[in-house]
Amino acid sequence: MKSITSVEERLSSSYFNRLGQELFRNTGQYPIVIILIEVLLIYQSGKWNNLFEKPDIFILLIAMLIQAAVLAYKEKLVWWQRFSGNLIAPTLYFASVYFFAKNSFLFEDAEVLSRPHHFVYWFFAIFLGLLQALQSGKQTWFSDFLLILENVMRAQILFVAYAIFESYSAKLQMSALNAFFADETHLLILLITFTLGFSTGVADVNSRNYLAVLRQTAGQLKIYSEWLLGRNLLGRAINDPNSMSLARRQRTVLFMDIRGFTRWSEQHSPEEVAMLLNGYYLTIENVMEKAEFIKYKFTADEVMGVFIDADKAVQAARELNAQIATYLQPYQLGAGIGINTGFLVEGLLGGKNIRFYDVIGDTVNTAHRIEGAANAGEIWISADARAQLADLSIQNEKEIALKGKELPAKVYLIQ
């Protein structure tokens, strides 16, 4: 149901949020840097037309988007999905470039396949994929360490990209590692990227741990809120807070009560009574989870359900009647059901600090009186409820006296 989904979506991320996160925090980082290098090299040459003669740039973009789309499909990935997913883009990129280099005039073999960033791409994809895969389990100090290491490695993408760019413009400095680090600027850049990666990693660890606490707390609050409001009302309240304000609406109200419960409970221990009620509640919940209701609540052995129309209430009543009869049969007990349709006031009631959802009005009181006139295994409905139902099989009808009313009310026994 839409209302239930909206609650759960608030506690998780949407696909497009995950796609953006994946694209800019993982999959796209190295490819974007490489594309910038290619564009800068074209800028240095002054031949902008060469941009459209380099299909490898567009192949890299497409491969990057495909990998991000695949990895963002699920919110949580197991270790092998995370590791293999990081290899999608480099695999597609290498295979496509190799194909075009061998079967097209667009590439020169020696130029394309010998570029250093090809091999560096594989290194980062495998290493970062492995670090992410090892973090897919329970969060521990080791997973925190791996997250910091992952951020340090990501920061080195900048340093490696700089080194690759230097290899095109200052080849002598790249002839040996000692020659490259003889330039103190290169050493400074390495130290800066390492420090930035480490500090970002520590911040990420704190953010991830804090987010885990927030999600756990939100999950607990969601459960407690559903206990008080029910899933449907909670979804409505989140989507539209004004929907919980007091308003006059037409609803169908259902009451069900165990016949002879008071006498039975006097003859049994509190533990036995609690056991019977818990099973009774669970049976009702299993039925109501499949029904289209607004709200239902328990009061001892009594249950009240609120529905948009009489048809949904009757469907739920019939299923409740069958399931509860089966459950209560070993206890030699049964339950009666009463249904009424009419206008009532619905919404949040209470003071400043404690509020609860409820329905009040004569419609509710009448439904309760009708339920009181039902024997075990019977479903009685009011004339107003019957008026909303078509092709209804009536077994019997009678008039019952209602407290506070001069005239009796006609009610109908349905199958």
* Helix ranges (DSSP H) in 105-242: 109-113, 116-134, 141-169, 177-181, 184-229, 231-239
User: Binning pLDDT at 50, 70 and 90, where does residue 4 land?
Assistant: very low
Is a pLDDT exceeding 60 seen at residue 159?
yes
**pLDDT for the residue 230:** 67
Q: Domain for residue 284, yes or no?
A: yes
**pLDDT for the residue 95:** 86
**pLDDT for the residue 164:** 83
**pLDDT for the residue 173:** 55
Q: Domain for residue 313, yes or no?
A: yes
**pLDDT for the residue 14:** 82
Query: In 3-state terms, what secondary structure has residue 294?
Result: coil
Q: What sign has the CA pseudo-torsion 306, 307, 310, 315?
A: negative
Q: Domain for residue 113, yes or no?
A: yes
Per-residue pLDDT tens for 369-414? 999 999 999 999 999 999 998 878 888 989 888 877 888 889 999 9
Considering the domain architecture, whether residues 265 and 203 belong to the same structural domain is answered as: no
> Six-digit token pair at 14?
């949407």
Q: Domain for residue 235, yes or no?
A: no
**pLDDT for the residue 114:** 65
Q: Domain for residue 232, yes or no?
A: no
More confident residue, 131 or 228: 131
**pLDDT for the residue 244:** 75
Considering the domain architecture, whether residues 25 and 105 belong to the same structural domain is answered as: yes
**pLDDT for the residue 387:** 92
**pLDDT for the residue 162:** 85
Segment 221-248 shows an average pLDDT of 73
Instruction: Name the domain boundary from 193, 227, 261.
Output: 227
Pick from 98-102, 145-149, 227-231: least confident: 227-231
Specify the number of domains making up the chain: 2
**pLDDT for the residue 99:** 77
H or E stretch covering 411 = strand 409-414
Segment 285-299 shows an average pLDDT of 89
Work out the mean pLDDT of the chain and round it to a whole number.
Answer: 85
> Six-digit token pair at 80?
């092998």
Q: Domain for residue 237, yes or no?
A: no
Say if residues 357 and 233 touch (Cβ distance below 8 Å): yes
Is a pLDDT exceeding 50 seen at residue 94?
yes
Pick from 40-44, 50-54, 92-96, 316-320: least confident: 50-54
Per-residue pLDDT tens for 165-222? 877 766 655 556 777 777 788 889 999 999 999 999 999 999 999 988 888 887 787 7
pTM here is: 0.65
Q: Domain for residue 238, yes or no?
A: no
Instruction: Name the domain boundary from 227, 258, 275.
Output: 227
CA 27-33-39 angle, 5° bins: 130
Considering the domain architecture, whether residues 69 and 16 belong to the same structural domain is answered as: yes
User: Binning pLDDT at 50, 70 and 90, where does residue 87 land?
Assistant: very high
How far is residue 292's CA from residue 211's CA, in Å, rounded to a whole number?
Answer: 34
Considering the domain architecture, whether residues 210 and 278 belong to the same structural domain is answered as: no
Instruction: Name the domain boundary from 198, 227, 256.
Output: 227
Pick from 7-11, 289-293, 401-405: least confident: 7-11
Considering the domain architecture, whether residues 71 and 193 belong to the same structural domain is answered as: yes
69: exposed, middle or buried (C-beta count within 10 Å: 0-12, 13-18, 19+)?
A: middle
Residue span of the structural domain in which 132 resides: 2-227
How far is residue 29's CA from residue 124's CA, in Å, rounded to a whole number?
Answer: 10
Give the amino acid at 254: L
Ranges assigned E (strand) in 265-320: 295-299, 302-307
**pLDDT for the residue 3:** 41
Per-residue pLDDT tens for 336-366? 999 999 999 988 888 888 878 889 999 999 9
Per-residue pLDDT tens for 22-47? 999 999 999 998 888 878 877 777 77
Considering the domain architecture, whether residues 180 and 317 belong to the same structural domain is answered as: no
